[in-house]
């Protein structure tokens, strides 16, 4: 029908143009008016044809539906998503439903053309009708209903409903493949192993290429490099699918097919509108796998594209190890200056919260001889030094493993794709950060500072036991309140800020290494930083309650997860109070390690 309308309109326009060949052409506006008038007249004629036929055949449901569909699409503007005949279309659908309220074709048509809560109401109505009269609806039609409901619930963010309807749709029609939709739900719940299992449960080389491509991307994101490459290989020769050459290159790299990977990176460079993004991937590849002259050539091209591609000189510094005799540009010195400015800014950031504390204590004359840890030697100077070192280590690991993302945080015109959830880079970044933090704290502590691991007031068993009990109580209470909607929803692991890092370590190294960091090293250095140096240096200058709140806020902020901010805040408050009452870091360490152990167990089970 739409092809016929288009053909007639073109014929009318062509005849007008042929008649005008012997005379001076009209103005463009005149031709456009003629075209619009012809279109309106043709539309009216087609509507008359529909109405004339339906007057004689009022029970022809298929033509009634085609009549509605014609009104919906005749003047629809897909670019602006606007239909000037929306009111006429809605009226035609209303009349259709009034005349055929239980007709299967009509209800499916209605379901196909409504969204959100309306789609859920219609879909639920159809399912209720089938329950009242089992077998009345064909399995194929019911599968369509469940698939539509699954997609609608996915948009609304209710994974349980998505999984329920997706599985029912596939049971009713085994030709449907909704495994990608199902895997998305498990990925959002951080059940990565289950997501991978679902994705691999239905891999069909003859299946929908676009669906296989989506699966390949998710598998790559979840660290399943070999399986992702197999699916990419199935899809790459299908011209109907737009494939990101950079993603295929990444799959080839992790499968050690370096020659092919660089070819795809070069293809991506030629086709990309944002060449800086691809050049960052290309130079990262060349640092690891290409000869020095190729690396230098890529670096020069990166710099020719934009100075911002290496603002802080990270690539230039690394180039010293690969090509030490490569000449320097004048703007390389400017990069060095920017790098020094970055260091100065980072070291100055702690002043934003250290100076106000110093000012308030001097203004109101607050000065305590005893702190949460009696005889603790730390002052606000220690608070500033450790804060600055903490941020410096964070920035250093960011530069080393996610330099493009660091640049993108400064320059909004740079777009950098999101990192994979599970990857060797994530694992290496976590290992370097955790080790540097641990070494920094151990190197900063004096021998006498280790006395704070034991309490003079509490026995070792009591300190450890209370810490374990507090960890379980906090999790239990928080879970209960989150289920009632009083507090934000909480994830199973309670360690989401580093969960992907630990999973990457598990996959690319060994779970024992992840256990060492999560349950032993991280609690040790974080407790000495937050409940040791931070809390006691502030407690010396301001009241304990204020000091405890501030260190808890800082503890929650460094975990970089707003959905779990309150959980980390309450963890900081409770551990700070335990330190105050016990005059020891041991109960705080016990609570922190217990919480991380429970999170680690949840990660391993997931």
Domain boundaries, the chain: 179-259, 349-605
- H/E stretch holding 405 reads helix 380-410
Give the whole-angstrom CA distance, residue 27 versus residue 20.
12
Confidence (pLDDT) at 28: 58
In this structure, what token pair is assigned to residue 97? 């439903």
| Residues pairing with 82 in the sheet | 77
Confidence (pLDDT) at 33: 65
CA distances to 18, 27, 171, 362, 542 from 23, in Å: 10, 12, 67, 93, 93
Q: Which residue is associated with the tokens 């409901």?
A: 149
Q: Are 119 and 152 spatial neighbours (Cβ–Cβ below 8 Å)? A: yes
Confidence (pLDDT) at 35: 59
Residues 6+ apart with CB under 8 A from 10: none
Q: Are 416 and 495 spatial neighbours (Cβ–Cβ below 8 Å)? A: no
Residues 6+ apart with CB under 8 A from 182: 162, 163, 166, 167, 198
| Residues pairing with 77 in the sheet | 82
CB atoms within 10 A of CB 410: 12
Confidence (pLDDT) at 203: 81
In this structure, what token pair is assigned to residue 559? 């975990």
In this structure, what token pair is assigned to residue 427? 């694992």
Query: CA neighbours within 13 Å on the CB side: how many for 293?
Result: 0
Report the number of secondary-structure helices (H) and strands (E) in the chain.
29, 0
pLDDT digits (tens, 9 = 90+) for 93-116: 899 899 999 999 999 999 998 889
CA distances to 194, 380, 386, 558, 582 from 547, in Å: 43, 12, 16, 17, 17
Specify the DSSP class assigned to residue 309: G
Residues 6+ apart with CB under 8 A from 330: none
Q: What is the pTM of this model?
A: 0.77
pLDDT digits (tens, 9 = 90+) for 185-233: 988 887 888 898 999 888 877 778 888 889 988 898 888 888 888 888 8
What ranges in 237-306 are assigned the alpha helix state H?
245-254, 258-271, 275-289, 292-305
Confidence (pLDDT) at 604: 79
Confidence (pLDDT) at 10: 45
Give the whole-angstrom CA distance, residue 359 versus residue 541.
10
Confidence (pLDDT) at 583: 92
Confidence (pLDDT) at 12: 43
Parts of the chain with a pLDDT under 50: 1-22, 493-495
Q: Are 276 and 413 spatial neighbours (Cβ–Cβ below 8 Å)? A: no
Q: Judge residue 571's burial from the number of C-beta atoms within 10 Å of its C-beta, 0-12 exposed, 13-18 middle, 19 or more buried.
A: buried
CA distances to 3, 137, 142, 145, 173 from 123, in Å: 32, 13, 9, 6, 17
**Dmax (CA) of the chain:** 109
């Amino acid at each position: 029908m739409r092809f016929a309308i288009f053909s007639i309109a073109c014929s009318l326009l062509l005849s007008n143009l042929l008649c005008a060949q012997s005379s001076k052409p009209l103005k463009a506006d005149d031709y456009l008016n003629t075209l619009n008038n012809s279109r309106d007249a043709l539309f009216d004629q087609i509507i008359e044809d529909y109405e004339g036929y339906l007057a004689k055949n009022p029970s022809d449901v298929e033509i009634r539906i085609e009549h509605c569909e014609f009104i919906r699409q005749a003047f629809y503007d897909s670019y602006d998503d606007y239909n000037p005949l929306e009111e006429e279309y809605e009226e035609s659908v209303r009349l259709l439903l009034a005349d055929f309220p239980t007709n299967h074709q009509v209800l499916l048509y209605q379901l196909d053309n409504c969204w959100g809560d309306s789609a859920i109401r219609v879909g639920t109505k159809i399912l209720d009708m089938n329950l009242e009269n089992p077998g009345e609806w064909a399995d194929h039609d019911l599968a369509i209903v469940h698939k539509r409901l699954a997609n609608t619930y996915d948009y609304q963010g209710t994974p349980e409903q998505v999984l329920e309807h997706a599985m029912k749709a596939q049971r009713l029609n085994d030709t449907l493949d909704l495994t990608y939709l199902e895997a998305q739900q498990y990925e959002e719940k951080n059940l990565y192993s289950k997501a991978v299992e679902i994705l691999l449960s239905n891999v069909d080389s003859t299946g929908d290429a676009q669906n296989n491509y989506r699966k390949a991307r998710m598998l790559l994101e979840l660290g399943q490099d070999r399986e992702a490459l197999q699916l990419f290989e199935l899809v790459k020769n299908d011209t109907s699918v737009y494939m990101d050459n950079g993603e295929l290159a990444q799959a080839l790299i992790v499968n050690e097919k370096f020659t092919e990977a660089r070819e795809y990176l070069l293809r991506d460079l030629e086709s990309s509108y944002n060449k800086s993004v691809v050049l960052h991937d290309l130079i990262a590849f060349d640092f690891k796998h290409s000869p020095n002259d190729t690396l230098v050539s890529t670096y020069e091209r990166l710099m020719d594209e934009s100075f911002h591609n290496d603002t802080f000189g990270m690539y230039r510094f690394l180039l010293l190890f690969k090509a030490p005799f490569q000449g320097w540009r004048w703007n390389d010195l400017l990069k060095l200056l920017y790098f020094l400015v970055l260091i100065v800014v980072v070291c100055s950031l702690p002043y934003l919260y250290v100076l106000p504390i110093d000012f308030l204590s001097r203004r109101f004359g607050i000065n305590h001889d005893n702190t949460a840890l009696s005889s603790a030697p730390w002052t606000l100077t220690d608070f500033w030094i450790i804060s600055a070192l903490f941020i410096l280590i964070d920035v250093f690991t960011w530069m080393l493993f996610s330099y493009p993302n660091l640049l993108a945080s400064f320059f909004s015109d740079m777009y950098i794709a999101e990192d994979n959830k599970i990857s060797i880079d994530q694992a290496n970044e976590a290992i370097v950060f955790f080790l540097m933090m641990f070494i920094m704290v151990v190197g900063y502590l004096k021998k006498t500072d280790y006395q704070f691991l034991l309490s003079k007031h509490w026995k070792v068993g009591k300190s450890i036991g209370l810490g374990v009990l507090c960890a379980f109580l906090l999790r239990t209470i928080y879970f209960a309140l989150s289920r009632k909607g009083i507090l934000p929803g909480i994830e199973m692991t309670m360690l989401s800020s580093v969960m992907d890092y630990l999973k990457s370590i598990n996959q690319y190294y060994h779970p024992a290494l992840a256990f060492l960091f999560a349950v032993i090293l991280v609690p040790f250095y974080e407790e000495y930083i937050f409940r040791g140096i931070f809390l006691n240096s502030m407690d010396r200058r301001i009241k304990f309650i204020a000091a405890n709140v501030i260190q808890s806020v800082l503890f929650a902020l460094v975990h970089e997860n707003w959905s779990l901010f309150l959980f980390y805040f309450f963890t900081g408050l409770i551990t700070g109070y335990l330190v105050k009452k016990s005059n020891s870091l041991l109960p705080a360490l016990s609570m922190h390690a217990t919480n991380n152990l429970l999170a680690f167990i949840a990660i391993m089970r997931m």
